[in-house]
Amino acid sequence: MAIVDEDLERLRATLVLSDVVQQYVALRRVGRTWVGLCPFHAERTASFNVRDETGRYKCFGCGAAGDAFKFVQEIEHLDFVAAVESLAAKNNVQLRYTTGEAGDRQRQKRRQLVDAMGKAVEWYHQRLLDSPDAREARDYLRKRGLAGDVARAFKLGWAPDDWDAMSKHLGVAPEMLRDTGLAFNNKSGRMQDSFRARVLFPIYTENGDPVALGGRVLPGSADPAKYKNSSETPIYAKSKTLYGLNWAKGDIVTADQVIVCEGYTDVIGFHRAGVKRAVATCGTALTEDHVRLLKRYATQVVLAFDADAAGQGAAQRFYEWEERYQVRVSVARFPDGKDPGDLSLSDPDALRQAVEQALPFLGFRVNHALNSRKLRSPEDRAQVAGLAMAVVNEHPNREVRKLYAAQVAAHVGIPPNDLVALADRGVKSPTVRIAPVRRVGAAENAEFVAVAMLIQRWDDIAPWLMEELFVDEVARRAFLAVAESAGSIEVALELADPEAREFLERAAVTDVDADPVLEARNLIAAATRRRLAASVHTTDPDALHALRDARLALESIEQTDAGDAGAETLLGWLKGASEGRE
């Protein structure tokens, strides 16, 4: 289907390029040329030039160039026909198409339906703003932070609790009302409004055409359906429409990121918090058509809804979409019981942080499985490992599976090789067997216990440990690997030599029941005694003074209630002694 050339030229003659561009870019006149900052790349010095006489623009920074049609295509991310239609609608130019009379009728009918929906959106919006019967709705929206400028910006509306108020007052033909889903013929054959006693959220295409409505009942309503959406019509397909994309697409392109929510108020909440790149599905799950649409604007998709529930049935599709459309799907985690709409009012910073700290889709689901129960027994650990590996092995990439398998192994405390093998084979319903953990015995000395606790309780013991505390060479190398990895067992195993790796694998699965600070003090005391014994022949006055302080500190750490300060002193002394500053 193509636009008649004559109509294209008529539209082109109607347009003033600088007027079109200035809807998006601030321009200033320089002689006969308009100049501004290029909207297609970041720049500080204006290099974007517009010439009305020729109807052409050119950026001398990035090379972007074209006419009004090309500009709207690029700035709005539209195809040529959609860009022309957008400009024609704004300039009241009627277009004809070369596919014949049937095609013209189809296009004309669509425009009539969009116009009818636009009239309904405006009618409902004015009812919300001005009508006495909308007072309760205004009060509700005010409590939710959706009144005033927010209601105007998003064209919120109110459908009165009448059978046919909109149908009678809109001035639109009955067939138009039926075909848009705004009304229907009831059993008596009369036109009846589809939406009654609901706050309305108009739904637009990415190009800004109003095509549908979403309605929410007020609290306390007897209507069991909290939300009601327009049915699918010739101008509205739920699987291809995203609420808010018309407002968000500019910010989405700038950030190369889109946030996908569940509800209209979530989208508005993100906008209110200054994160204006949020959209929502319209009462349906995220579809491939949605992803294909979003790919035109961004490569990063952040899910701001219950992604684990969604992943139960759609995980494989998500991974396929990531591969097919080269997008990265991640998940924003919100405080328990909070949704984006609530957070935008109570803690907008937390809303922004949730997006900034979003986890990869697979990582989010693995974490959910790992935290599904406490690891009180070998059976618990085996079950959690099995659940997590079943999630891991849904992913089609073998190397990704193996990386996550190591994470699962570290969490449940088993050698990673066992789970990596399961990941390598991609076992769909893996069974993990774990031998009962053994208590630390005489064969595991204080250095072994310290490394085990460093793996399992990093925050409790890490500040008290240093390389100089370890005499056993293998234990020292194992400690250095864990310290360099900041407590990550999978990274430490990669860094360690074979002997240290075997040491770490034993330490990772040993059940250590000890006081981490007390264990560290014992190592500090032992290292201090070794250093004192090696310094008996010292005659330097400063060194002798330091040795005396070390002996006093050593005595203090024998006293459980007053040992921290002494242990800190000795750690500093041992560090200095190892560097020759005794």
Query: Does 137 or 499 have the greater pLDDT score?
Result: 137
Q: Please tell me the predicted confidence (pLDDT) of residue 437.
A: 45
Q: Please tell me the predicted confidence (pLDDT) of residue 435.
A: 56
Find the range with the poorest average confidence among 48-62, 221-235, 369-383, 476-490.
369-383
How much is the pTM? 0.64
Whether residue 204 has pLDDT greater than 90: yes
Instruction: List, for residues 539-563, the tens digit of each pLDDT value.
Output: 677 777 777 777 777 767 655 454 5
Bridge partners for 185 per DSSP: 191
Three-state DSSP at 77 gives coil
Q: Please tell me the predicted confidence (pLDDT) of residue 337.
A: 65
User: Roughly how many angstroms between the first and final C-alpha of the chain, as a whole number?
Assistant: 87
Q: Please tell me the predicted confidence (pLDDT) of residue 225.
A: 85
The span from the CA of 305 to the CA of 310, in Å, is 9
Question: What phi, psi does 173 have (nearest 5°)?
Answer: -60, 145
Instruction: List, for residues 88-99, the tens digit of each pLDDT value.
Output: 988 888 888 776
Q: Please tell me the predicted confidence (pLDDT) of residue 438.
A: 43
Grade residue 531 by pLDDT with cuts at 50, 70 and 90.
Answer: confident
Where is 483: in which H helix or E strand? Answer: helix 473-484
Whether residue 34 has pLDDT greater than 50: yes
Kindly state the DSSP code that residue 218 receives in the 8-state scheme.
P
Q: Please tell me the predicted confidence (pLDDT) of residue 343.
A: 87
Closest C-alpha among 263, 228, 239, 108 to residue 179: 108
As its CATH architecture, domain 5-90 has Alpha-Beta Complex (3.90)
Q: Please tell me the predicted confidence (pLDDT) of residue 533.
A: 63
Whether residue 67 has pLDDT greater than 90: yes
Whether residue 581 has pLDDT greater than 70: no
Whether residue 158 has pLDDT greater than 90: yes
Instruction: List, for residues 422-440, the tens digit of each pLDDT value.
Output: 898 888 878 787 655 444 4
Where is 159: in which H helix or E strand? Answer: strand 157-159
101-236 fold: DNA primase DNAg catalytic core, N-terminal domain (3.90.980)
Instruction: List, for residues 477-518, the tens digit of each pLDDT value.
Output: 999 999 998 888 888 888 988 888 888 888 887 777 778 888
Mean pLDDT of the 142-158 span: 94
Whether residue 221 has pLDDT greater than 80: yes
Whether residue 570 has pLDDT greater than 70: yes
CATH fit for domain 240-357, picks 3.30.2350.10, 3.40.1360.10, 3.30.497.10, 3.30.420.310: 3.40.1360.10
Q: Please tell me the predicted confidence (pLDDT) of residue 224.
A: 82
Task: Classify burial at 54, counting beta carbons within 10 Å of its beta carbon; exposed 0-12, middle 13-18, buried 19 or more.
Answer: exposed
The percent of residues above 70 in pLDDT, for the chain, comes to 90
Report the sign of the C-alpha dihedral through residues 367, 369, 373, 376, in that order.
Answer: negative
Query: Does 222 or 236 have the greater pLDDT score?
Result: 236
Residue 476, both tokens: 């020292």
Mean pLDDT of the 333-351 span: 84
Bridge partners for 303 per DSSP: 260, 331
Mean pLDDT of the 455-468 span: 88
Q: Please tell me the predicted confidence (pLDDT) of residue 122.
A: 97
Find the range with the poorest average confidence among 102-116, 298-312, 352-366, 474-488.
298-312
Report the sign of the C-alpha dihedral through residues 279, 285, 286, 290, in that order.
Answer: negative
Instruction: List, for residues 175-185, the tens digit of each pLDDT value.
Output: 999 999 999 99
Q: Please tell me the predicted confidence (pLDDT) of residue 108.
A: 83
Where is 146: in which H helix or E strand? Answer: none
Helical axes 348-356 vs 264-272, angle rounded to 10°: 100
Query: Does 513 or 257 have the greater pLDDT score?
Result: 257
Helical axes 516-533 vs 446-456, angle rounded to 10°: 140
Find the range with the poorest average confidence among 106-120, 190-204, 349-363, 497-511.
497-511
Three-state DSSP at 515 gives coil
As a whole number, the mean pLDDT across the chain is: 85
Domain ranges of the chain: 5-90, 101-236, 240-357, 376-425, 446-578
Rounded to 5 degrees, what angle do the CA atoms 29, 34, 39 make?
130
Mean pLDDT of the 392-411 span: 86
Where is 259: in which H helix or E strand? Answer: strand 257-261
Three-state DSSP at 286 gives coil
Whether residue 575 has pLDDT greater than 60: yes
Three-state DSSP at 178 gives helix
**Based on C-alpha coordinates, what's the Rg of the chain?**
34
